[in-house]
Structure 1
């Protein structure tokens, strides 16, 4: 899935003097406050972090509250959905007008009717709402299905994604992956059959070709056998 990246960052964390004897704990707590929030400095939503290095020389900041600054290096896992990126998510609700999806367990996404390609037809089967492909009956989108869709826009404040199922390479991941496997198997079988056919039929329609000299040798061999008898 697109929209995920790992970034190396040089950070400065400000720690209260009361936490001076528990600096690592204070740093982890401070970083945890930024989890699952969009950060302009990181240009993404912080999903996880790992500290690689910690500067032992903290800088005291003058002022009414004398915090001290601790510099550190960290690896950050960021979620940064951009327009036209491919994302994957689980369908949690489906209506005739929209498909509601959860991405990575925390970010909500919605795909409205005008962004669902006409191939899909809304129907209710045994009380269950579905979008079923008119071209491929097994291509079904329903609650609980995992789908692949295109990002149209991303609301950074509420972490809400507006998506699209217009492109043909979007839809149910189960069906898309199965279709891809079928195409690969078909291409492989076609190639093997072609290679076999090319090896089975050489020149002259598959019959072994003899040159005039070969034919003469056959006659001479026959005469030689008769003479020896």
Structure 2
């Protein structure tokens, strides 16, 4: 999925003097407070981190209430969606006017009817709301389906995304991946048949209006017959 990236960062975490005897705990707590929230510092949503404290001796920062500045190196997993990126999400609600999804379990997104391609038709099937493709009957979107959609716009502060199912490479991930595998199998089988046909053509030739085999045994016999005729 697009929008995920790993970044290396050099950070300084401010620790209250009362936490001076538990610096590592204070650092992890401070970083944890930024999880699943958009941060302008990181330019994304912090999903996970791996920390290595560089200096064990923290420096006192100037101020009325002095804090300790702890330097550390961190590897950060960030979620930074942008327009025109392809994201994956789980469907949580369907209506005739919209599809509601959750991205990575915390960010909400909605796809309204004008951004759903005409191929999909909303209907009730076995008492459940679904979006069925009129082109491919097995391409169905329902609650619980993992879909791939295009980011149309987003509000970073509240982590709300407006998506689109207009492109042909969007929809149910299960169907899209399965369809791609079937196309690959067809391509591979077609290539195999072409190679077999070429081998058959190489093994046979037409001489004097008659088809003869060009196998090793036939080549030897043909050479022997030609030598007899020439003598």
Write the distance in 2 (CA, Å) between the matches of 1:218 and 1:80.
82
Deviations 1:140-160 (A, max 9, x none): 001110000011112111111
Aligned pair 1:87/2:87, yes or no?
Answer: yes
Write the distance in 1 (CA, Å) between the matches of 2:71 and 2:223.
89
Q: Counterparts in 2 of 1:173-192, with a 5 A limit?
A: 173-192=173-192
Deviations 1:96-134 (A, max 9, x none): 100000110000010000000011111111211111111
Q: Counterparts in 2 of 1:58-69, with a 5 A limit?
A: 58-69=58-69
Q: Counterparts in 2 of 1:198-209, with a 5 A limit?
A: 198-202=198-202, 204-205=205-206, 207-208=212-213
> Between Structure 1 and Structure 2, how many residues are aligned?
221
- Structure 2 residue runs of 5 or longer lacking an equivalent are none
Write the distance in 1 (CA, Å) between the matches of 2:161 and 2:200.
56
Write the distance in 2 (CA, Å) between the matches of 1:36 and 1:133.
34
User: Shift of the alpha carbon at 1:58?
Assistant: 1.5
| TM-score normalised according to structure 1 size | 0.91
- Structure 1 residue runs of 5 or longer lacking an equivalent are 222-229
Q: Counterparts in 2 of 1:152-163, with a 5 A limit?
A: 152-163=152-163
User: Shift of the alpha carbon at 1:216?
Assistant: 3.0
Q: Counterparts in 2 of 1:125-204, with a 5 A limit?
A: 125-202=125-202, 204=205
Write the distance in 2 (CA, Å) between the matches of 1:79 and 1:216.
77
CA contact under 8 A between 2:12 and 2:71: conserved in structure 1? yes
Write the distance in 1 (CA, Å) between the matches of 2:167 and 2:228.
68
Write the distance in 2 (CA, Å) between the matches of 1:31 and 1:220.
94
Say which SS state the counterpart of residue 84 (structure 2) adopts: coil
User: Shift of the alpha carbon at 1:219?
Assistant: 4.0
| TM-score normalised according to structure 2 size | 0.90
Write the distance in 2 (CA, Å) between the matches of 1:195 and 1:214.
31
Deviations 1:197-217 (A, max 9, x none): 00011263562367x976432
CA contact under 8 A between 2:7 and 2:77: conserved in structure 1? yes
CA radius of gyration, larger in: 1
